[in-house]
Amino acid sequence: MGDARRELLGAGRLVLDIEDRPGPPPLRFETTENGRLRVLRQNGHPVLLGALTDGSCCPDLHLHRLGTYRSPLPPIPSARMRAAADWVHQYARWLLAAGSDPLHDGRWELSLRTSFAAGVWTADLVRDWPGAVLELNCGGGWHGVLPLRSFSAPDAARVKAYRKHARDGTLAPVLLWWQPRLDGWLILDGHDRAVAALAEGRTPECVVLTRLRDAELWRRDAEAMTEGHRQRMDRLAAHPASPGTERRRAAMEQGYGDALAELPYDPSGIRTWPLPGGAPAWRALAATAMFQFPGD
């Protein structure tokens, strides 16, 4: 499935610059009715349906997963986990070769993450299956983790094997996909590994896949930021020289440099594609799902 230019950002961070995949990718969101109705589709098959409630500044997102999702990564044997791989680069290689992934043209960051805000892996981890309701805040966010397949029991055989890896510090990371519209993450790989880590009282170590802003957008913002910084520095230059003025100048220069350096790595919104057939097609999929799961 091709290759991508790689940009190394230090330990645990890698950017893939993809130019040979115009899309739509194998794993993609399709929407209709201005994004109110959503389908996550993988290799032509729907794996998740979503619908936003109407008439509220803080809508709920009703979800239904169909149990058809398949991980884009291959199974990871115990021996591979004990070998202490560079998981960020390994996951990048597997995703590029997968054929069931969300990658398309643009810049994508994979980064190792070992800590999260309080509640992300507890109160805001979606354990209901197959249906769920996300209570979005008025900015559209939710800030939790959504699995794409059902969790195994903590005492299932595979999970028990993973729990030993968690205790030994050799458990491979969970692969998450950052969703800016949700202000949360989808689990792409490692559902049982997540259960194992949580059962051992640990926050799952993760590799996070994030779509970055296109170059023309962050460069435009960089030009505006540079012009604003120049104007502020010109105003500061009109003040009499003093130790306080010099400290302020140094702080402004530092802040400008830090902000400019991070612009290329700001997350982008996840691109969506039109849902073929529009709202009637979505309702037909929903009717089939409700027939299969009448209690949902």
pLDDT in tens, 183-229: 899 999 999 999 999 999 999 999 999 999 877 766 777 677 777 87
Q: Tell whether 194 and 232 lie within a shared domain.
A: no
pLDDT reported for residue 243: 82
In a domain, 119, yes or no: yes
Q: Tell whether 228 and 173 lie within a shared domain.
A: no
> Rounded to whole angstroms, how far apart are CA atoms 117 and 126?
16
Q: Tell whether 183 and 248 lie within a shared domain.
A: no
Q: Tell whether 93 and 222 lie within a shared domain.
A: no
Q: Tell whether 254 and 280 lie within a shared domain.
A: no
Q: Tell whether 197 and 105 lie within a shared domain.
A: yes
Q: Tell whether 89 and 180 lie within a shared domain.
A: yes
In a domain, 79, yes or no: no
- What is the tally of structural domains in the chain? 2
> Helices 215-237 and 243-262: crossing angle, nearest 10°?
180
Range(s) of the domain holding residue 242: 216-264
- Tracing tokens 């910084």 back to the chain, one arrives at 229
> Rounded to whole angstroms, how far apart are CA atoms 248 and 63?
50
In a domain, 25, yes or no: yes
Task: Tell me how far CA of residue 138 lies from CA of 54, 86, 178, 181, 269, in angstroms.
Answer: 13, 39, 19, 12, 17
Q: Tell whether 250 and 187 lie within a shared domain.
A: no
In a domain, 167, yes or no: yes
In a domain, 24, yes or no: yes
What is the separation of C-alpha 84 from the centre of its chain, rounded to a whole number of angstroms? 24
Q: Tell whether 151 and 135 lie within a shared domain.
A: yes
Tell whether pTM > 0.85.
yes
Q: Tell whether 190 and 253 lie within a shared domain.
A: no
The burial class, CB within 10 Å (0-12 / 13-18 / 19+), for 275 is buried
In a domain, 139, yes or no: yes
Point out the residues of the chain with pLDDT beneath 70. 1-3, 55-57, 138-141, 217-218, 222, 260-261, 263-264, 290-296
In a domain, 193, yes or no: yes
> Rounded to whole angstroms, how far apart are CA atoms 207 and 136?
24
Q: Tell whether 148 and 196 lie within a shared domain.
A: yes
Q: Tell whether 88 and 44 lie within a shared domain.
A: yes
